[in-house]
Chain A
Amino acid sequence: MAVDLSMDVLVVDDYKTMVRIITNLLKQLGFENIDDAADGKEALAKMKDGKKYGLVISDWNMEPMTGYELLREVRGDDGLKTTPFIMVTAESKTENVIAAKKAGVNNYIVKPFNAATLKGKIAAVLGDF
């Protein structure tokens, strides 16, 4: 199945430069509708605001709501729980990966990463480009 490049993608990171990097990479991959949020709380508010995101790419370590908390909120919400969710984070301890996997994350990328890794993980979650 080919990826729907017109879907809404939400990038969640408190570091503006990282939002910009991921956004640019997504644009290079062909995604047209990219939104962003500075932490889990803002992201959750946007997700509950009516727009249906086809993919969430989130950092882990953010305040006041972390990406891990966002993931658990999303998976616990009947209206949002099927949203594909990729964690992109510097948290690389095994316990983090296992916790995210158990919480229902679809894929996990450790920083620093490259465009090929991001593309590969999106393809693994959404289908081929």
Chain B
Amino acid sequence: MTAANEAAEKVRGAIASLKENNVQDRPLVEVLELSHQLADAMKYFFGSLDQTIQGEFRYIADFISKARDEISELRPNDIRETRIPGASIELDAVVKDTEQATETIMSEAEAIMSADASDPEAYKAQVDEAMMRMIEACSFQDLTGQRVSKVVTTLRHIEERVAHFAVALGVEDSSNQEETEEDRRKRELLLNGPALDGPETAQDDIDAMFAEGGEEVGQDDIDALFN
């Protein structure tokens, strides 16, 4: 039996004794004795409680301290203030470079398509100049390649730090993540986006589904596409 339990037992006994007799007839010294035992019980009780709580608080404090160190290692301010905005700027520049190059190439191609070919010599000169400008415009690929490379480096940096953080703190992915409205829309409207390394279903396979006599999609056609 713990000290707290022993003290509580004494208190209970004393109270029972008082109840059996008329408390007003008891000498003051006995009431004081009871108060003393009650105080002891309270002291032991809160003492043991404090030790447990102190242990818990110490564990939580250590955990918070470790988490703070890990978050510091994660360098969230650097990621938020420098790396993410930097990557965003690079991607914007990629879009801009690509658009400019596309605009140049399209305009030159349209100019050739609508050019007057009645004078072969003049027409050839116009085509040669347009071709040269189209070739020059293709140099955007070098720039966009370098920009994308920087973005990939940033993503890898973040990936490594987040992975280290998750391992250090023993974080596991939640298994019951709720589907967002955006996710639901993507799923219901089959918004999968372009596949890597070419289309997942080849144009020839699609053509077979739309070939003469293929008005309805048969199970065999579907099976063939999945094989």
**B199 with A108: CB separation less than 8 A:** no
Minimum CB distance partner of A69 in chain B: B189
CA distance A60 to B189 in the complex (A): 9
Segment among A30-38, A47-55, A73-81, A93-101 that sits at the interface with chain B: A93-101
B194 at the interface (CB under 8 A from A): yes
Known: A109-B203, A113-B203. A98 touches B189 (CB 8 A): no
Minimum CB distance partner of A86 in chain B: B210
B209 at the interface (CB under 8 A from A): yes
A117 at the interface (CB under 8 A from B): yes
**Size of interface on A: residues with Cβ below 8 Å to B:** 32
B24 at the interface (CB under 8 A from A): no
**B210 with A108: CB separation less than 8 A:** yes
Which of A91, A98, A109, A113 lies in contact with B192, CB distance below 8 A? Answer: A91
B190 at the interface (CB under 8 A from A): yes
**B191 with A61: CB separation less than 8 A:** yes
Minimum CB distance partner of B110 in chain A: A24
CA distance A28 to B113 in the complex (A): 9
**B106 with A17: CB separation less than 8 A:** yes
A126 at the interface (CB under 8 A from B): no
B195 at the interface (CB under 8 A from A): yes
**A94 with B226: CB separation less than 8 A:** yes
CB distance from B149 to the nearest CB of A (A): 23
Known: A17-B102, A28-B113, A90-B193. A98 touches B210 (CB 8 A): no
B217 at the interface (CB under 8 A from A): yes
Known: A98-B217, A110-B199. A91 touches B193 (CB 8 A): yes
Which of A93, A108, A109 lies in contact with B200, CB distance below 8 A? Answer: A93
Contacting residues, chain B, for A90 (C-beta < 8 A): 193-195, 199
Contacting residues, chain B, for A92 (C-beta < 8 A): 194-195, 199-201
B222 at the interface (CB under 8 A from A): yes
A83 at the interface (CB under 8 A from B): no
Contacting residues, chain A, for B225 (C-beta < 8 A): 94, 97-98
**B189 with A93: CB separation less than 8 A:** no
Known: A24-B110, A107-B210, A110-B199. A66 touches B191 (CB 8 A): yes
CA distance A43 to B77 in the complex (A): 45
Give B contacts to A, CB under 8 Å. 99, 102-103, 106, 109-110, 113, 189-195, 199-203, 206, 209-210, 217, 222, 225-226
4 more contacts with CB within 8 A, not counting A90-B199, A92-B201, are A17-B99, A91-B191, A108-B210, A110-B199
Give A contacts to B, CB under 8 Å. 17, 20-21, 24, 27-28, 60-61, 66, 68-69, 90-99, 101-102, 106-111, 113, 117, 124
Q: List 27 A-B contacts (CB under 8 A).
A: A17-B102, A20-B106, A21-B106, A24-B109, A24-B113, A27-B113, A28-B113, A60-B190, A61-B193, A66-B191, A68-B189, A68-B190, A90-B193, A90-B194, A91-B190, A91-B191, A91-B192, A92-B200, A96-B190, A97-B225, A98-B217, A108-B206, A108-B209, A110-B203, A111-B199, A113-B203, A117-B203
Closest 6 pairs between A and B when the two form their complex, measured CB to CB:
A92-B199, A90-B194, A110-B199, A94-B225, A92-B200, A96-B190
